[in-house]
Structure 1
């Protein structure tokens, strides 16, 4: 009689355990496909769910376009001999008399070192006065000084040397080997040459961007374009600020992937299949290859193209669905472009949830069985 009562108690406990397990949520990495589809606009949700095909891929393949404006592209290379405010000159003046205006007694020449061009672009030469230097070459300055001195001393001979070019410098900062201030000289009058002189970039070239700030204008390009497009290698101007930085775009990977994290773009463009591979692929024991989702806030113009609707206003929440088991599923994932801020989410397969339920039940039943056996042992001892 006691044995029968024990069996009844075990059966009751099993029924209660199954009911409890069914009513409680098991651990999982996120919503399943059914729950995601339940949030669609068609079911009074707030997101449009769209299956990815060739047309959708074309409409959403938007890559950030970087490039310089005409103001940068049309700027000619600055002559290496052009004098600028801040430059330092050296002057040597020869006079064809024994007792000249500038030379010491017994000498027929005078040397003026470290003559700096002031902020207004002028230099001062004794007996010649203020001479316009900025914007002129050393040869032009030589001629201007000679003309001024010729009025006071016979047949003066003038030599002008450019000693330092501190008047035309650029600053380089960011992901570059040698950050600092560099003069614009004959070998470094273009952007690529200046970056090379500073030691090159310190990030992956495929994901590097170069920005030039010139007064109130800003231009930005991909670093690789400096070599693929010769017109992008623009001429520099004094005062330019050059910033080199890694691409700041990211996407987030969640769900049944090898790694759940925020991931930086490693190349200029990245597709869905590349994004999945970058985080370790799909989990073989739990991922559902029919439930790969890309969540995005799509701009109004693109959303209208994708949905074929003209009544949409503002950015729209879009959920793009990729089924890797379809005949062209892998090709679609290979061509679908991931954008900045996207969330790539992979659902768990129904089998994975079933396995968790079975595991939870068997583990709990083992514990219950152990307690029941212990209770039986206690009852036997009591008899």
Structure 2
């Protein structure tokens, strides 16, 4: 922050030269006096597009989420299976009026198997329910002619997805045979909080963090930003931090503006704060200070003609930008003179009194 303020003061000094005369664009000699990490750029029709604010590109990471294309549930230790053999009730564990299918089913043990009558230990871990069914049919065929059976997961206990952050009900969501997308998980958690930032969702998978722009799916229908989720994923929905730009100097209402995800141009920001002060502002000296931890870029725009305001509509502001409108040289001199007049008047009055004695 201190570096930012220093750079800001340096930039403001660029607008004034000796004898109260401003030189625009900023004189090369003034730029030479700056440190190497401060760059001044005059905005014009040729370069304005290169500084247009780009939409978040985090959607590309969503395309690289491993295992997010195909989906087929794989049984794992802890799951409870329900096996129904048609026309052979002795091989089907009855649920009874007070027992659910989960309570009467077959629990997959830590070694990935479960015990089934006649067959013994049946491998289940890592297999889809359809594969377990096919294997059981082959094994039971030694005891039953043409066995017909169904295998279902009665309780999904082995795999889960965690969702936390700015959602109504952060929770653990079980992974089931029904594929779950990012939006499904958000809805299952009660939806987004009012201050949530869906543009900067993160998904942790296999020790790596991926950035996903869920807002890109909600507002622009980009399917890649609503990826398929898998077991072990941890979803974090951040709260939207204030994204302010600051409008200062000779404008109608100097203030901060919260972008709140809005794309705001330089001209829009000036108009929103009452425009330039017609009596005091120097239309040649509109500066935008944009800094990072390592450097500061100062953009200068002249709006002496309507063309300047048109260019300003193509320059998008970013969070943290400081817009400063300088004061005209004439107004600086007027303020100086007006500030001195009371003192000069007082001295003249005192001298006149002394002379009259």
Q: TM-score, normalized by length of structure 1?
A: 0.66
Is 2:193 the partner of 1:199?
no
Rounded to whole Å, the distance in 1 between the matches of 2:234 and 2:274 is 39
The structure 2 residue matched to 1:224, chosen from 215, 227, 238, is 215
In structure 2, the CA distance between the partners of 1:111 and 1:277, relative to structure 1 (3 Å rule), is closer
Q: Post-superposition shift, 1:128?
A: 3.9
* Corresponding position: 1:265 with 2:265: no
Aligned-pair CA distance for 1:333: 0.7
Residues 1:211 and 1:153: Cα distance change in structure 2 (over 3 Å): same
1:64-143 mapped onto 2 (5 Å cutoff): 64-69=56-61, 70-72=63-65, 75-79=68-72, 82-91=74-83, 113=104, 115-118=106-109, 121-125=112-116, 128-143=119-134
Q: Does 2:304 align with 1:325?
A: yes
Aligned equivalents of 1:116, 1:159: Cα separation in 2: 16
Aligned with 2:192: secondary structure? Answer: coil
Count of matched residue pairs:
325
Check conservation: 2:102, 2:154, Cα contact below 8 A.
no
Which shows bigger deviation, 324-333 or 184-193?
A: 184-193
Offset of 1:332 from its aligned partner?
Answer: 0.9
1:343 to 304, 322, 326: 322
Deviation at 1:251, TM superposition (A): 4.0
1:328 partner SS = helix
* 5+ long unaligned stretches in structure 2: 1-10, 95-100
Whole-Å Cα distance in 1 between the matches of residues 160 and 263 of structure 2?
A: 34
Distance 1:343 1:40, change over 3 A: farther
In 2, Cα distance between equivalents of 1:253 and 1:116: 65
For the aligned residue pairs, the C-alpha RMSD in angstroms reads: 4.4
Distance 1:117 1:41 in 2: 76
Are the equivalent residues in 2 in contact too, given 1:86–1:117 (CA < 8 A)? yes
Secondary structure class of the residue paired with 1:243: strand
Distance 2:213 2:89 in 1: 62
Once structures 1 and 2 are overlaid, which stretch shifts more, 196-205 or 226-235?
A: 196-205
In our comparison, the structure showing a higher alpha carbon Rg is 1
Matched, 1:289 2:283: yes
Distance 1:74 1:185, change over 3 A: closer
Q: Does the Cα contact within 8 Å between 2:254 and 2:273 map onto a contact in 1?
A: yes
8 Å Cα contact 2:156-2:175 kept in structure 1: yes
**1:34 maps to which residue?**
16
After alignment, is 175-184 or 250-259 more displaced? 250-259
Gaps of 5+ in 1: 1-28, 104-109, 300-314
Kept in 1: contact 2:166–2:196 (CA 8 A):
no
Quickly say closer, same or farther: Cα 1:53–1:30, change in 2 above 3 A. Answer: closer
> CA separation in 2, counterparts of 1:199 and 1:211?
18
Instruction: Provide the C-alpha distance between the structure 1 equivalents of 2:340 and 2:102, rounded to a whole number of angstroms.
Output: 99
Helix, strand or coil at the partner of 1:335: coil
Question: Does the 8 A contact of 2:93 with 2:105 survive in 1?
Answer: no
- 1:371–1:215 CA distance, 2 compared to 1 (3 A): farther
Shift of 1:179: 2.1
Q: Residue 71 of structure 2 contacts residue 179 of structure 2 at CA under 8 Å; is this kept in 1? A: no
Q: How many Å separate the matches in 2 of 1:248 and 1:362?
A: 45
- State the alpha-carbon separation in 2 of the partners of residues 223 and 271 from structure 1: 24
Superposition TM-score, scaled by structure 2 size: 0.70
- Counterpart Cα distance in 1 of 2:346 and 2:149: 104
Q: CA shift at 1:240, angstroms? A: 1.2
Partner of 2:157: 166
- Any idea what the Cα deviations from partners look like across 1:164-221, whole Å, max 9, x if unmatched? 2233322222232332222244666222232233333335789732222211333223
- Compute the displacement of 1:271 (Å): 2.4
| C-alpha deviation, 1:292, in angstroms | 0.8
List aligned pairs for 1:347-362, cutoff 5 A.
Answer: 347-362=326-341
Note the 1:344-383 alignment, pairs <5 A: 344-364=323-343
Change (3 A) 1:269 1:345: same
Taking structure 1 as reference, are residues 206 and 334 closer, same or farther at Cα in structure 2, changes over 3 Å only? farther
8 Å contact kept, 1:188–1:197: no
